[in-house]
A and B are shown apart, each in its own frame.
Chain A
Amino acid sequence: MTKYSVIGQRLPRVDAATKLTGQAKFAADFTLPNMLWGKVLWSPYPHANIRQIDVSEAAALKGVKAVITAADVPKKKDDEEYPGAMSSCLARNKVIFAGQPVAAVAAINQYVAEEALALIKVDYEVLPAVIDIEEAMKPGAPLVHPNTFTMNIPDKDKKPTNIFWYSKIEKGNIDAGFRQADVVLENVYRTQVVHHGYLEPRASMANVEPDGKVTIWSDNQGIFELREIVAGLLNIPFSKLKVIPVEVGGAFGGKSSQIVAPLCVLLSGKSGLPVKIVTSREETFKTNRPAPAALFTVKIGATKDGAITGAYVKMVYDFGALSGIGGMGQFSFGGPPMLNTYRIPNIKIDNYSVYTNKTPSGPYRGPTATQAAFAIESQLDEVARALKIDPVEFRLKNVSVDGDPMNAPGFGGDDHFGKIGFKPVMEQMKKYLNKRGPVKGGNRGRGVSCGYWATASGSAGAIINLNADGTLDVLIGSVDVSGTRTIAAQVVAEELGVPYEKVTVNTGDTDVAPYSTLSAGSMIARSISKPLHLACQDIIAQLCERAAPLLEVRPDELEYTRGQVQIKGKPDKALTLAEIGGKTFHFPGGSPIIGRGSTQGSGSSPVIAMSTADVEVDKETGKVKILNFATIQDTGCSINPTLIEGQQQGAAAQGIGWALMEKSVYQNGVIQNATLLDYRVPTAVDLPYIDAFAVEIEYENSPFGIRGAGEPPLVPTVAAIANAIRDATGVRMKEVPMTPETVFWALQKKGK
């Protein structure tokens, strides 16, 4: 891209030096004088009534300053409807998953706090639990929430069920679609619970002052969201609650939940001292909000020349014990749109969301999309094989283009595509693979897959202060999870035509910063660029007003260009930012120049990412080695290609882990492998270099045409690897992770 001078440059992250030298402060790095350490008692059972909790011995232990249970948490209306934890940060009368917070203590150090936990006596009446997704759907299954009825099924006499949400999409006539097909293939696919695996465990510190002012330091994906969650749970007015932004050690959706922050506030309130809780890795795995397991039936039909005539998908997502946290409802919105990549005349989708007594799930990088892509794109691969059509060609034959109707409507209610880059991404992939040539060697194979995702956007504000020396301080309220400050600095430098180094971006706390949406949904670059653009326009208008008397003209006779205000067409009659700032601030009648921007979201932008893997399968052991991996996405305008590549490579690595290694193993409803290497996130040895390319089809609704990055490259990755294994061995893996063990047995079954 040559059209910009700062945008599109591979500039170093503004936070690089502090992070590289250990100076950057993460939540657990903060301490206050007289700070106490908190520890949480978690439910050991997936389903049980709490008959009684006796904390007297724990409270009497020397060094213990506060013990809390549900009795210390404000009661909510929902408590009656969902006894358990729907609206409470500590279990009230009942636990509905293993790892649910039951009580918490604050003590002079971690060791005393740990000792105190062992002294809390909880009398549980263990109830039958439902862990398996299919069991949960059967009539008569134990109910996770006794008062749950399926949303969207109109039925007056309906009975309570674990199926809490259902949606249906029907387009054309699915039976006719299959009748027109020369090949119709059906398979069942299954995915397991996976965890984000962020390296920083959850950590919060809170200080409740005598006047009721609460301050929180906590890992999060949105300081305003965090404030809303805690304020809502504990009935605190927003203005009495200050959230300090911290560096966040990986989030991927997982840090939009806040489990220990409200407990820190309660413990601090009760003890009168600051309280910090840092969860262990085991606690982080067992008590946080992983991605849901899912079960799919996929049936796809196509004619012999490769036109898809019909697709039926039944998708069932296992959301665990709760359907969201902090008012953020979770349901399987990422599943149905997977068919949007293609023109399909006849479609039927049945989409179920189910409760079980497993860990409640939450968003993970393209929530619920990766599971659906694994199933649908695996099945598309089978159809292409049956038709003997190259998998990229097959996708190109059916690709959706500008103006096509969407199979599953977007969030904003849009039902037709605007300008999209699906075809350019596929063509780029074709070029890449042609250049690489075919995979050579025994037991080797190649797979490709697409993944659809609509990058989101949200409301945000921005404030820019012009300093008297011409430098600029930018204030935003977005927590920097993946380069927000760097991108904001590039946008402001571009808009005002000043050097990148002259712009300093700060994320303020909730007392001073303008509101901003979550740093999630691949949306922050787009969401923050809009108000920054307006704030820059605001600054320029003010600059012209201040410069007019100094240059002895009217403001409308002036123009702004490359860091200076000049009389139109006369670059020699000009004043720089520093000259205007310096001249106007310090003289009588002068006033500071402050730019302000505030915008709502700009809809969701449809994108696809495409992945390809070359693999080698060891038939003796079932081990799959990734020989080559590439990922391509339509990112819209790429503000900083290095950051975008980083997002793509990281997402691909998570997808490779999801495909080959990762799952939370449940036994009797309790996670058994709660360490990083038993859960098994990929190491540097497990992965190759990851080729990453951006296709930049500009999105019409955002400054510079940004679409967003982060989530999409994860979506197609699992299926691409499954398809590569199929290519290498002839075996279709229908369940992930595809560990050496499962691949070995699949090969044995096939008799190879």
Chain B
Amino acid sequence: MKKLITLTVNGQQQEILVEPQQTLVEALRYTLGLTGTKEGCGNGNCGSCTVIMDGKIVNSCLVFAVEAAGKEIVTIEGVSQGGKLHPLQQAFMDEGALQCGFCTPGFIISGIALLNVNRHPTEEQIRHAFAGNLCRCTGYDKIVRATLKAAAL
């Protein structure tokens, strides 16, 4: 039985029909067409599906869509404003902190969530903040450096 839910995504209120077993990442990607959020594992291991829900990061593959009713969600599509990259996105671009780009939206969301609570994190704090985001291309080196650079702005 499908259920009608209301949620706010990137500042926009949305009413959507979801299956009871549908996850938030599936609803974002396939119901709302916001495919920037990726699903890499389906069990919370990789963090590619990271979004901000009511101010906190969640793995959207571990949240049922029905649980997101009434919540405020920020996805990668809601990060850059007015056609301008967020400073963290810009730092990732300048430092070459992305390769295939599949994990990148999750890192940007986790990085922004980190900088929201800790404006000047250390290398170690950044590595721990990213412990739930896997990247297989970069070895994390340039990701950590780009985040430090954005934090220094």
Given contacts A10-B96, A21-B89, A281-B40, contact A200 B140 (CB under 8 A): no
Residue among B38, B43, B101, B136 making CB contact with A654, cutoff 8 Å: B136
Report the bound CA distance from A18 to B36 in whole Å. 10
Q: Which residue of B lies closest to A644 (CB)?
A: B96
B99 partner, pick from A18, A482, A652, beta carbons under 8 A: A482
Asked if B85 is at the interface (CB within 8 A of a chain A CB), the reply is yes
Expressed in whole angstroms, the Cα–Cα distance for A481 and B102 within the complex equals 11
B13 at interface, CB cutoff 8 A:
no
B134 & A676 in contact (Cβ 8 Å cutoff): yes
In the complex, chain A residues whose CB is within 8 Å of the CB of B134: 199, 676, 681, 683
In the complex, A251 Cα to B100 Cα: how many Å? 9
Looking at A84-92, A600-608, A685-693, the stretch in contact with chain B turns out to be A685-693
Is A22 touching B100 in the complex (CB atoms < 8 A)?
A: no
| Cβ of B15 under 8 Å from chain A | no
A31 lies within 8 A of B30 (CB): yes
Answer yes or no: A247 CB below 8 A from chain B CBs: yes
Complexed CA–CA distance, A643 and B137 (Å): 11
Interface centre among A25, A111, A280, A689 (most CB of B within 10 A): A689
Q: Do A652 and B100 form a contact, CB below 8 Å, given A16-B93, A20-B85, A676-B46? A: no
Smallest Cβ distance from A298 to chain B, in angstroms? 29
Which chain A residues (16-38) contact chain B, with CB distance < 8 Å?
A: 16-26, 28-29, 31
Q: Is A503's beta carbon under 8 Å from chain B?
A: no
Q: Given that A22-B105, A198-B136 are contacting pairs, would A676 and B76 also be in contact in the complex, using a CB cutoff of 8 Å? A: no
User: Which chain A residues lie closer than 8 Å to B104 at the CB level?
Assistant: 19-20
Contact of A250 (CB < 8 Å), options: B75, B80, B102:
B102
* Contact (Cβ within 8 A) B42 A281: yes
Q: Nearest-CB distance from A701 to chain B (Å)? A: 27
Q: Is the CB of B37 within 8 A of A684?
A: no
Residues of chain B with a CB closer than 8 A to A290's CB = none
A199 contacts B75, C-beta separation under 8 Å: no
Q: Determine the chain B residues whose CB is within 8 A of the CB of A649 once the complex forms.
A: 138-139, 141-142
Contact partners of B30 in chain A: CB under 8 A? 31
List which A540-595 residues lie within 8 A (CB) of chain B: none
The 0/1 profile, CB within 8 Å of B marked 1, for residues 274-299 of chain A is 00001011000000000000000000
Please give, as numbers and ranges, the residues of chain A lying within 8 Å of B143 by CB-CB distance: 684
Contacts of B41 in A (CB 8 A): 201, 281, 675-676
**Is the CB–CB distance between B40 and A687 below 8 Å?**
no
**Chain B residues near A689 (CB-CB < 8 A):** 141, 144-145
Question: CA–CA, A24 to B130, complex, Å?
Answer: 22
Q: Which of B92-141 contact A (CB under 8 A)?
A: 92-96, 98-105, 108, 126-128, 130-131, 133-141
Task: Tell me, in angstroms, the Cα distance from A652 to B136 when the chains sit together.
Answer: 11
Interface residue count for B (Cβ, 8 Å)?
56
- Complex CA gap A748/B123 in Å reads 35
- B34, B95, B140, B144: residue with the most chain A Cβ atoms closer than 10 Å: B140
Residue numbers in A under 8 Å from B79 (CB-CB): 21
Known: A199-B134, A281-B40, A481-B100. A690 touches B139 (CB 8 A): yes
Q: Is B21 an interface residue (CB 8 A)?
A: yes
Q: Which residues of chain A have C-beta atoms less than 8 A from B39's C-beta?
A: 28, 201, 278
Q: Which of B42, B99, B131, B135 contacts A483 (CB 8 A)?
A: B99
Chain B residue, CB-CB nearest to A678? B45
B102 touches A249 (CB 8 A): yes
| A-B residue pair count with CB separations less than 8 angstroms | 173
Q: How far is the CA of A482 from the CA of B140 in the complex (A)?
A: 16
Name the CB-closest residue of B to A18. Answer: B101
A652 contact set on B, CB distance < 8 A: 139
- Decide yes or no whether B59 CB sits under 8 A from chain A: no
Cβ of B77 within 8 Å of any chain A Cβ, yes or no, is yes
A367 to B124, CA, bound (A): 34
Bound CA–CA A26/B29 (angstroms): 12
Q: Is B6 an interface residue (CB 8 A)?
A: no
Q: Which residue in B40, B42, B98, B130 is a CB contact (below 8 Å) of A19?
A: B98
- Contact check, A21 vs B128: say whether CB atoms are below 8 A apart: no
Q: A20-B108, A649-B141, A650-B139 are in contact. Are A683 and B131 (CB under 8 A)?
A: yes
User: How far, in whole Å, are A650 and B99 apart by their CA atoms in the complex?
Assistant: 9
- Judge whether B98 and A21 touch: CB under 8 Å: no
Q: How far is the CB of A465 from chain B (nearest CB, A)?
A: 27
Residues of chain B contacted by A675 (CB below 8 angstroms): 41, 43, 45
- Chain A neighbourhood of B19, CB < 8 A: 109, 111
**A28 to B: closest C-beta gap in Å:** 7
* Chain A residue at minimum C-beta to C-beta distance from B123: A689
- B-binding residues in A (CB < 8 A): 10, 12-13, 15-26, 28-29, 31, 109, 111, 196-201, 247-252, 278, 280-281, 481-483, 642-643, 645-646, 649-654, 675-677, 681, 683-685, 687, 689-690
Known interface pairs A22-B37, A684-B130; 13 further A-B residue pairs with C-beta atoms within 8 A, sorted by A's residue number: A12-B93, A22-B35, A24-B101, A111-B21, A198-B100, A199-B136, A200-B38, A250-B137, A278-B39, A654-B136, A684-B131, A684-B135, A684-B144
Residues of B at under 8 Å CB distance from A? 19, 21, 29-30, 34-43, 45-46, 48, 75-77, 79-80, 85, 89, 92-96, 98-105, 108, 126-128, 130-131, 133-145
Q: Give 10 A-B contacts (CB < 8 Å), ordered by A residue.
A: A12-B93, A20-B80, A22-B75, A196-B136, A247-B102, A249-B38, A250-B137, A676-B45, A683-B131, A684-B130
Nearest 9 pairs between A and B by C-beta? A22-B36, A249-B102, A19-B101, A653-B139, A22-B76, A649-B139, A642-B96, A29-B35, A684-B130
